[in-house]
Amino acid sequence: MKQIKIKSSAGDSAIFINEKIKNADKYICAEKRIIITDSNVKRYYEDIFPSADIIEIKSGEANKNLDTIQYIYNKFIELDVDRSSFILCIGGGVITDIAGFAASTFARGVKFGFIPTTLLAQIDAAVGGKNGVDFSGYKNIIGNINQPEFVICDSYFLKTLPKKEVLCGLAEAVKAGAIKDESLFAFIEKNYKKAINLDPDVIEHIIYESVLIKANIVNADAKETGERKLLNFGHTFGHAIELIYNIRHGEAISIGMIISALISVKKGLLSESDFYRIKNLLINLNLAPDKSIKFDMEQAIDSLKRDKKRAGNKIDFILLKSIGKAVREPIDLNELAHAAEFLNA
Ligand SMILES: NC(=O)c1ccc[n+]([C@@H]2O[C@H](COP(=O)([O-])OP(=O)(O)OC[C@H]3O[C@@H](n4cnc5c(N)ncnc54)[C@H](O)[C@@H]3O)[C@@H](O)[C@H]2O)c1
């Protein structure tokens, strides 16, 4: 078991990699515990959950909204949750985002911990303290930054994960390598088949290194005033298309990463050979744009126009100078629309 600490201006958190759910009790400092989980995770794993009342919500991004938050608040009231209670969130990134937000806003904040059950949540969503829900077609537009007490990454959960969800988790690891660590990127390039097949050593290395990258960034800039924005590589465009086309988060950000890398080449920042390394790795991971989707660029650009990072006709974008070196630059929306045409070529 390895531990990574988050010690940030937005609170502290301990992330345990290769810890077991059966040890969760020793990290929970409350008699009254409530588990929040989704229907799939409950179906597979209820028998190994620590003892607690369970709030079950429907799985899927479509439920990451304020209605679900209200449902949870009502359940909290029914179950007499107060500030001495503990909320344990067991599920993928949708659950950790929703449940982290519900716990940290109810009664002005109840302590909570995460047991992420998807690769994407272990690598990324459960780490860093961003909680929240979608609203009116906008991704994560309602939320807060508040750290869970702990995150237990137990690879036992990954065995029931559908292959497509494994690939989506690897997309966030590719992102971490692309922005900060060429050696992680090269490791995934070399071991992508083992990673897809969840080879234990390969997956543990990928989770550990990705979490370390995110934790270092969060420790330096928890509230996303500078460095943390680099984690948005692939996400600005990705978020714009994720809800429109109802595609998985990892699939959407993979498309976003290809577009950002392409713009980086057009601006003379990134070499063509690095662009092809990124594109080929995403193709090897079956994360290349789905040719059966006809992307409506006007709709995507329209959604970007309402993005909080936009100023006039420019939007803040994360570009690459090389694999492992990211920069933040404002880019023109027309330039983006032009690059995005590549998707329908
Ligand atoms: N807060 C952050 O910093 C952050 C970072 C990245 C992504 N996210 C968010 O995370 C979400 C995506 O997370 P996700 O990909 O984990 O999605 P998810 O939570 O929807 O999980 C994907 C699917 O896998 C199922 N599932 C979960 N664990 C399983 C298991 N062990 N076995 C079988 N099935 C299982 C779920 O029920 C769901 O159907 C998005 O909403 C995204 O915005 C948040």
pLDDT digits (tens, 9 = 90+) for 213-235: 999 999 999 998 999 999 999 99
Question: Residue 343: what pLDDT?
Answer: 75
Please state the atom number of ligand 1 nearest to the C-alpha of residue 157.
31
| 3-state secondary structure at position 238 | helix
**Ligand 1: centre distance to CA 271 (Å):** 33
pLDDT of residue 288: 84
In order of their start, the domains of the chain are 2-160 (3.40.50.1970), 163-344 (1.20.1090.10)
Give residue ranges with CB within 6 A of ligand 1. 38, 40-41, 44, 59-61, 64, 91-95, 97, 117-118, 120-121, 124-125, 128, 130, 140, 157, 160-161, 165, 168, 249
Q: Which residue has the higher pLDDT, 327 or 302?
A: 327
Please indicate whether residue 103 or residue 345 has the higher confidence score (pLDDT).
Answer: 103
Confidence band, pLDDT 50/70/90 cuts, at residue 337:
confident
Euclidean distance between CA atoms 258 and 317, whole angstroms: 13
Grouping H, G, I as helix, E, B as strand and the rest as coil, residue 130 is: strand
Question: For 270-315, what is each residue's pLDDT tens digit?
Answer: 999 999 999 999 999 999 877 777 777 778 888 887 777 777 888 8
With a CB cutoff of 8 Å and minimum separation 6, the contacts of 245 are 252, 293, 295
Q: Is the pLDDT higher at 334 or at 27?
A: 27
pLDDT at residue 170, as a whole number: 98
Calculate the alpha carbon distances from 202 to 67, 93, 170, 187, 208 in Å: 39, 22, 11, 9, 10
pLDDT of residue 296: 79
pLDDT in tens, 87-106: 999 999 999 999 999 999 99
Per-residue pLDDT tens digits for 34-70: 999 999 999 999 999 999 999 999 999 999 999 999 9
155 Cα–ligand 1 center, Å:
15
Q: How far is the CA of 119 from the centre of ligand 1 (A)?
A: 8
Mean pLDDT of 319-341: 90
- Can you tell me the distance from the alpha carbon of 297 to that of 227, in angstroms, rounded to the nearest whole number? 29
Find the mean pLDDT for residues 174-202: 98
pLDDT digits (tens, 9 = 90+) for 2-14: 999 999 888 899 9
Half-sphere exposure of 96 (CA within 13 A, CB side): 31
Output the residue whose Cα is nearest ligand 1's atom 22.
92
Token pair, residue 323, equals 């694999």
